[in-house]
Chain A
Amino acid sequence: MSASQQTTHAEPARGLMERWLPAVAAIAFLIAFPFVADGYLLHVANISLIFILLAIGQNIITGYTGMLSLGHAAFYGVGAYTSALLTLRLGVSWPVAFLASGVVASIVGMLIALPCLRVRTDFLSLITIAFAQMFFVVANGWMGLTRGPMGLTGIPRISIGSWVAHNDISYYAVFACIVVVIYVAVQRILNSSIGRAWEMVRDDEVGALSLGVDVTYYKVLSFGVGTFLAGLAGSMFAHYIRFLSPDAFLLLESLIIMQMAILGGLASLPGSVLGAVLLISIPEALRSSEPLLITYRPGLAGALLVAMMIWRPQGILGRTRATPPIVRQISDTLRRLVGARPVANP
């Protein structure tokens, strides 16, 4: 959130209590969760944590910098395969492979995006879809490396030194720590001059240029950070599910990640968390009872996207002056619950 927005929205001064309460509550919830949840819920939580990273990455690119990337799942896939292959073939330890997967995904992402971001950012959507298709063709066709559609099996569990994550609770602990660290780090970046530059590029590119903001640099940086997070999430996924096949990283998956970022609110970090949790847990809850709903999920999600763009482009947690009072009350309550600040209307 830029400084100007904080002043224009005239937020009441926030006391120490108000400021730290949401964070403390969130941490307390994360710690208490495994004690009350059963195995299945824990699994859903682990998947949600992975997707929270993906949604945050997408939100940095789309919500904060205003670039439409439709290949997030492919960068997630690049990370997953990097990490799996490094540990399987070269015997690299997991923490190294984890960081390497983020770095590789980010480098690939920046190389893909560079020609496009230099001249026509709108076409990033096309380039990223094309990259996703190419990723699928390569992952599916390069039998020697990826074993193609048969998939990679026997990927080792997450291990740090001699400690091995042997059950869902240990995975949960690792994932929760990663997500908390990343969340705080991203929030710091967004509150810094980098975050303000991103939002300026989104809101007025020519204006940003005229004030000496290196627009291309910040766009590429944003894309690099977003894909870095996708790569990390890929590594988490690979060592959690321990089986990789190329069809886990299709365009549909990218669209779901996009929906998470939009549903919770573009340019809202708590929104990304909420969006990821909702879009993972709702289908899980419905899976057994409503097969039709799953079949037509893309169509329903599409209708939701159109409706959100028309009536609520700022997502569930955002708010504008034009918001009807009842919606404002609900969203204010929600915002207070998760400790969000006012959100820019993207």
Chain B
Amino acid sequence: MAYVIEQLINGLAVGSVYALIAVGYSMVYSILYLINFAHGDVITFGAFTALTMLVIGVPIPVALFLACVLGAALGMTVERIAYRPVRYANRIVPMISALGAGLVIASTAQAIWGPEVHAFPQVIPRWSFELFGQLIPFQPLIIIAIAVVLVTIATILLDYTRLGRATKCVCQDIHAAQLMGIPINTIVPLVYAIGGFLGVAGAVLYVTYFNAVYIQMGLLATFKAWSAAMLGGVGNFHGAFVGGLLLGIAEAFSVVVVGSAFKDGVSLVFIVLILLLKPDGLFGERTTARS
């Protein structure tokens, strides 16, 4: 029982991190039908920047916030340089452009920080406390709390402000939104900024939790985040969050059932099952193919 509770908490923590990263993919896809391959590299870059700032002694909250802001800025830059010029081309064109942008960012990160695995300092202390005779770790709870707060802020931003409503219009039909006077060249970068900000926050929490940061992390994060997003229904902000939690829990328990070697396979199994059984996700609305 104690083990089950521990795994549950760990799963929720990892899952909420996936959810934060998934937002960047899910929102971009729902607007432009573009798989933003650069996102994984953007957030890895952000995590490395946080590492450098922590090493040179910037206070922890400031360093983390600056890293997130950098992630937002990087997301917007990539959009401006690599995606906007090809926004309305055949869908394969922006995706290849995204791949290219991701390679450039990853290569730059490798030039700066090198290809080896770096240890990440303990930003959140690893205390634990006792509750009903149960040893509860402190770090996962903080991670869950931070994720919930960030997602709540993003939800308020998207559901209750003018900006958020404009974003939803653009999601539904980008051309009509433009005709209605919504400045899509402000809204689309904004979406990338939100995705980059939350993504770097997620990446920093992820590397704190696993205590390691490395270049290829972006690719793994891409998968986990995508399967979370698809589980919840792509384009569905809250669905992605629930999807992330489900994936995290499933991974935590798969370690118990089939061993840690196959933990990373869980996300793939989820993607395939969702595609086979319910392609619109657990909470997604039925959508028709767009060309």
Contacts and interface: CB of A to CB of B under 8 A. Distances in A.
Interface of A: 62, 66-68, 70, 115-116, 118-120, 122-123, 125-127, 129-130, 133-134, 141, 202-207, 251, 255, 258, 262, 266, 296, 298-307, 309-310, 313, 346
B89 A313 contact: yes
Contacts of A207: 291
Contact of A310 (B86, B279, B291): B86
B219 A251 contact: yes
B279 A68 contact: no
B271 A68 contact: no
A266 B271 CA distance: 28
A262 B96 contact: yes
A104 B275 CA distance: 24
Interface residues of B, number: 46
Interface of B: 29, 33, 35, 37, 81-82, 85-86, 89-97, 99-104, 106-108, 110-111, 219, 222-223, 226, 230, 261, 264-265, 267-268, 271-272, 275-276, 279, 289-291
B243 to A, nearest CB: 14
A203 B89 CA distance: 11
A255 B276 contact: no
Contacts of B96: 68, 258, 262, 305, 309
B22 to A, nearest CB: 13
Nearest to B97: A309
B103 A126 contact: no
Contacts of B264: 133
A119 to B, nearest CB: 4
A207 B289 CA distance: 11
Contacts of B29: 122
Given A66-B91, A68-B96, A309-B94, A255 B103 contact: yes
B35 A202 contact: no
B289 A205 contact: yes
A204 B91 CA distance: 11
Name the prevailing secondary structure of the B interface residues: helix
A130 B94 CA distance: 21
Given A258-B96, A313-B89, A306 B104 contact: yes
A330 B81 CA distance: 27
Contacts of B35: 68, 122-123, 125-126
Given A66-B90, A346-B93, A305 B99 contact: yes
B291 A298 contact: no
A135 B275 CA distance: 21
Given A116-B275, A125-B35, A205-B289, A296 B107 contact: yes
The 10 closest A-B pairs by CB, nearest first: A299-B107, A302-B103, A305-B100, A119-B279, A309-B97, A306-B100, A302-B104, A302-B100, A130-B268, A115-B275
Name the prevailing secondary structure of the A interface residues: helix
A64 to B, nearest CB: 11
A134 B265 contact: yes
A247 to B, nearest CB: 13
Given A122-B35, A202-B90, A346-B90, A306 B101 contact: yes
Given A66-B90, A66-B91, A303 B271 contact: no
A306 B82 contact: yes
A298 to B, nearest CB: 5
B291 A205 contact: yes
Contact of B106 (A67, A262, A299, A305): A299
Contacts of B276: 115
A120 B279 contact: yes
Listed residue (A67, A122, A301) with the most chain B CB atoms within 10 angstroms of its CB: A122
A26 to B, nearest CB: 28
B92 A305 contact: no
Given A68-B96, A298-B103, A346-B92, 12 more contacts: A122-B91, A126-B35, A126-B223, A251-B219, A255-B103, A296-B107, A298-B107, A299-B106, A302-B102, A303-B103, A305-B100, A310-B97
A134 B100 contact: no
Nearest to A345: B90
A262 B289 CA distance: 26
A87 to B, nearest CB: 30
A129 B218 CA distance: 13
A258 to B, nearest CB: 7
Contacts of B223: 126, 129-130
Contact of B100 (A141, A309, A346): A309
Listed residue (B99, B107, B265) with the most chain A CB atoms within 10 angstroms of its CB: B99
A246 B72 CA distance: 37
Contacts of A302: 99-104, 106-107
A307 B81 CA distance: 10
